[in-house]
Structure 1
Amino acid sequence: MCRFVIYKGTEPVQLNHLLTKPVHSVINQSFSPKLRVDLRNPINGDGFGVGWYDSTYDEELGSQPCVFKSVTPAWNNANLSRIADKMKSPLVFAHVRATTAGSLSEDNCHPFTYGKLMFMHNGGLAEFHKFKRKLQQVLPDKIFEVPQGNTDSEWAFALYLSKLPDPDASSFTPNVLKDAMLQTIQTLNGFAREAGISEPSLMNFCITDGETVVATRYVSSKVDEAASLWFSSGTSFYEYAKGGHYKMSKADKRENIIMIASEPLTFESADWMEIRTNYMVVITPKMNLLQVPIKDEFYTPPSDPAALNRTTSFAEGKGFWSSGRAAVSNAQAIAAH
């Protein structure tokens, strides 16, 4: 499975504390089969991308994020290590890729950007080729020119941009970003329905404008679990033991740090909470974390017993499922030896 991690904090974090130093960082997860639950494809070596925003606004630099991508494996890229050691940011997107759609090229590596917006996807749009042309036809000419690669993910991003009142706006409210995400999912489901596609799509989408973050854990099914997604929050994220052993601490009720990840980044099971299937998480500029149900034909209320009976077999079969508790237990056992 592809993997991603999002960091948003009131203070900038040095990128190496997310990418290279933690023993269970998103990069180490991508190549170490000992730390992975997903052994179907034990290597995520089809490229990576890291995007971040400046700690302070500079008029000459602008408000758009900086992105570094490569098709080389993330764990074997010296430039990534050098950048991670020297850069700090209050908002970071990082993604390691295992190809599910699209060729191996930098253009197909996440995150994707447009203006001040940045987007990632973990999952896949089932039988995308059957409605790709229809999706392209609904895009305004300017947005049609945005995708540089050929992944379903980047075309989903283009569709998202078309749902914004003004994708070139200088600022976006959380509601504007949230509503565009809901419309994007609704439209993709409509395309799949019209094309007669019965296989579910996995749509763990993330969008940010550098201030707000919107992330979804979503599958177009009433009986399946979505690709795994977790969040952690606290006042500090630090190395508590040599060898890259990190933990999230909560000194008080403040949320100075919020992280979202496909798989937990620490071995502390209490650090992480699972995001419910077919829910959206919104992190506001003031560091409030909201969980919003995506109420459509595939939504099951938590009070409905069916919500507890969703099966993980589909996401597991596609390689997009990671039981965070199992990953932590496996990693702890390995660390003990």
Structure 2
Amino acid sequence: MPLYNIPPCDTRRPVNGDGFGVGFYTAPSLGPDPCIFTSTLPAWNCENLERLASKTTSSLIFAHVRATTEGALADNNCHPFQHNTLMWMHNGNLGGWKYIKRHLADSLADKWYLGVKGGTDSEWAFALFLDLMEREGGVDPSSVPEGGFGHALLREIMRKTICRINELIAAIPAGCGVTDVETRSLLNFAVTDGHTVVCTRYVSSKTDEAASLYFSSGTKWKEGRTKGHFKMERHDKGADIVLVASEPLTFERHNWVTVPTNSILTIHKQTVLIHPLIDEFYDDDPNHDRSSGFAVSKGLVSKAPGTTVAPDTNNDPNSNHPPASEPFTPADTPSLSPRAQQESYSHSTRGNVTNDSRTDNILMLTMDGMGSRKYRWAPT
């Protein structure tokens, strides 16, 4: 996928001007490690980024624009962070950070503790991920297994990382003035080994909404008539591009699907999986009302403006009439309850609705050879 400039189509939200970073995997002959480029300049004010983007191609790209909450304005605090083949990004904050930082650091093996170069809570969370990957996953993060570490392992270590962060926050002693400290976390993490991408949308609260997260899939990310403005195209071939973003990148809202609160999204080959992150903050009611105030107070959004979309529900491809549609909002995202019984569920972002069955607790998106996208519940 070409590393083009991301279109500045929708700018109705606060901008992130505290630096940026891009990471991408190159030709196999150059090795399995990604190339990382970071800068403390605002992304829109860096000519080098524009030059690099116009001449760079990659099958997997991470990009991050920073609005600092922890750590100084410095290159080593800009995401994505890297260890060998692994890249990591974070949007949000670790609750009670100044109280848990020392305990988190003390729990790490020396090599992961010494590997932290910057001062952000995000990089320390990555160090924790690497430590858990080795300690509890039984895998050396420095190794380069053919085909990557596997989506199941990366997803499980991501779960354990979030669980460990919550345990550290819960263990803050009462005498530390914890009542005056914000202990809620916004943990939108992303990790990749070059073969699989695992992302989370998570908040450690049962009443607050997580920072927003969306994905879009298609066959081509194409520049429109206006230079620098791109859109997702879909043809009668396999959909082989998946974009994940904190907010929709275009005004074409029907091309973007909301990732449910407190869930984990996995991209592997041509399949997108969404698992629930079930803990004390999870709610299996899709209509559960959560407040956006906490995310907004951190300079983030829990729902981008205009995200109500109208999916195409017209099943007659020969019809000349506009498709019937119903609004699709984050509240319409299906329940991810592991206790769900067999029932019919369908959702389509384009074309015919495909009915399938819900059997357990993951929402799976598959792209077949005809370009249709099937959403179905599948067992873990």
Does TM, scored on the shorter chain, surpass 0.5?
A: yes
Show the counterpart of 1:310: 290
Out of 152, 155, 168, the position equivalent to 2:142 is: 168
Out of 218, 230, 240, the position equivalent to 2:214 is: 230
Mapping of residues 149-188 of structure 1, within 5 Å: 149-164=118-133, 165=138, 166-171=140-145, 172-188=149-165
Deviation per CA, 1:229-275, whole angstroms, max 9, x where unpaired?
A: 10001111112322433221222473310010011111101110110
1:287 corresponds to 2:267: no
Residue 145 of structure 1: CA displacement? Answer: 1.2
Show the counterpart of 2:43: 74
1:251 corresponds to 2:264: no
2:43/2:65 contact within 8 Å kept: yes
Show the counterpart of 1:6: none
Instruction: Please tell me the residue identity of whatever aligns with 2:274.
Output: Q
Deviation per CA, 1:45-90, whole angstroms, max 9, x where unpaired?
A: 1111000001x311xx210100000111111111111111111111
Mapping of residues 8-157 of structure 1, within 5 Å: 13-16=1-4, 18-19=5-6, 22-24=7-9, 35-37=11-13, 42-54=14-26, 56-58=27-29, 61-157=30-126
Instruction: Please tell me the residue identity of whatever aligns with 1:50.
Output: V
Out of 197, 212, 215, the position equivalent to 2:196 is: 212
1:217/1:278 contact within 8 Å kept: yes
Q: Which is higher, the Rg of structure 1 or of structure 2?
A: 2
1:255/1:288 contact within 8 Å kept: no
1:36/1:327 contact within 8 Å kept: no
Deviation per CA, 1:158-212, whole angstroms, max 9, x where unpaired?
A: 0000111321121301111111100000000000000155631000000000000
1:239/1:247 contact within 8 Å kept: yes
Instruction: Please tell me the residue identity of whatever aligns with 2:249.
Output: L
Identical counterparts, % of pairs: 48
Residue 36 of structure 1: CA displacement? Answer: 2.4
Show the counterpart of 2:187: 203
Residue 322 of structure 1: CA displacement? Answer: 5.2
SS of residue paired to 2:157: helix
Q: Which has the higher helix share?
A: 1
Residue 226 of structure 1: CA displacement? Answer: 0.4
Q: Against the structure 1 CA distance between its residues 64 and 315, is the aligned structure 2 distance closer, same or farther, given a 3 Å change threshold?
A: same
Q: For 2:293 and 2:45, how far apart are their aligned partners in 1?
A: 32
Instruction: Please tell me the residue identity of whatever aligns with 2:101.
Output: K
Q: For 1:243 and 1:328, how far apart are their aligned partners in 2?
A: 27
2:209/2:302 contact within 8 Å kept: no
Count of residues in correspondence between the two structures: 294
Q: For 2:84 and 2:282, how far apart are their aligned partners in 1?
A: 33
Q: For 2:37 and 2:61, how far apart are their aligned partners in 1?
A: 12
1:262 corresponds to 2:246: yes
Q: Runs of 5+ in structure 1 lacking a partner?
A: 1-12, 30-34, 330-337
Mapping of residues 309-328 of structure 1, within 5 Å: 309-321=289-301, 323-326=303-306
Show the counterpart of 1:298: 281
Q: For 1:155 and 1:79, how far apart are their aligned partners in 2?
A: 29
Q: For 2:194 and 2:308, how far apart are their aligned partners in 1?
A: 30
Q: For 1:229 and 1:113, how far apart are their aligned partners in 2?
A: 22
Residue 131 of structure 1: CA displacement? Answer: 0.8
Q: For 2:54 and 2:289, how far apart are their aligned partners in 1?
A: 44
Deviation per CA, 1:247-306, whole angstroms, max 9, x where unpaired?
A: 21222473310010011111101110110000000001x2210000001111111xx26x
RMSD: 1.8
- Single out whichever of 318-327 and 260-269 deviates more from structure 2: 318-327
Higher relative contact order (CA 8 A, sep 6+): 1
TM-score, length-scaled by structure 2: 0.74
Deviation per CA, 1:291-337, whole angstroms, max 9, x where unpaired?
A: 00001111111xx26x53111111112111153343799xxxxxxxx
Task: Show structure 1 runs of 4+ deviating over 4 A.
Answer: none
